[in-house]
Amino acid sequence: MIGIFDSGLGGLTILRALVHRFPQQKFVYLGDHAHVPYGNRNSQEIVELTRGGVEALFERGATLVLLGCNTATSVAARPLQQLWLPESKWRGRNILGIVAPTVEAATHTPWAVTTPQVPQKYNTDTIAVFGTTLTISSDVYRQEISKRCPMVRVEQQICSLLAGAIENEAPQSHLSKLIKSSVDELMVKTNGQPPHRAILGCTHFPLVEPLFQGHLSTSTQILSQPEIVSNSLHDYLVRHPEHVCLGPQVDAGVKLLTTGDPASISARARIFWDEVPVFDAA
């Protein structure tokens, strides 16, 4: 069984893509709605909350947990992977994040390669990163892209109000205004030149990808995480078939859990996935 952990609902955009890609795979999703938003918390709190979520998924039978949240991945993935997991009772299981496959897609370089390689060594493209305050403040995307493509220009833009507006079902006109403002601020940083690629570094943002594309140049390639993560997980499962656990049908293979109120969370979840199953209490 594969677990998906998120601080809230945005990870459902990732889960939806995974369910469509792997219709016979068993998934369990945990949203930590009792403690959302993580962006208002310090790094140690985020690490501890994420560890608790990962453990809860391991206890329910997951052998692999994917952090379907940019904030949790940016802050907690490395300490959990490198420090906590090897010393825990869960040795032999694994934790993945969504930053690594996104950086791979942006740089055309495997995550394991951390030194510049030809031709990416001489790549002078501009890559934009749109994300929440904590994700951008962590600087993880710029740092990891620069390791592999030192001549690439990375411009980051905080979209502080967008995720909340999406979740509160703001009108398209308001969402478009927020995105235009963020794109305009980014274009000032690039001297009016559109980026070659744009990372949507928040799992809420795929829901408004067409609005980003509309305010960016048609030549800008949008890197949207659901497709990227789906492709990456496919490659991972080919190399690690021990994590493949097949269910008889899609509904039987997907379970959603929340640390919040299941009824209200289930109602809000339909913004992210029309056919989403109901949430149960964690």
Torsion of CA 272, 105, 213, 170, to 10 degrees: 20
**In the 8-state DSSP scheme, what is residue 123?**
-
Which residue in the list 69, 149, 159, 245 is annotated as catalytic? 69
Provide the greatest CA pair distance for the chain: 54
Rounded to an integer, what distance in angstroms lies between the CA atom of residue 131 and that of residue 258?
Answer: 24
Find the angle CA(50)-CA(56)-CA(62) to the nearest 5 degrees: 105
- The active-site residue, picked from 149, 159, 202, 245, is 202
Structure tokens at 57: 């998924």
Q: Angle at which helices 225-239 and 12-21 pack, to 10 degrees? A: 50
Which residues, at least 6 apart from 263, have a Cβ–Cβ distance to it below 8 Å? Answer: none
Judge whether 245 counts as a catalytic residue. Answer: no
Query: Which residue type does 262 have?
Result: P
CB atoms within 10 A of CB 256: 23
Distance CA 282, CA 279 (A): 9
Active site residue 149: no
Active site residues: 69, 202
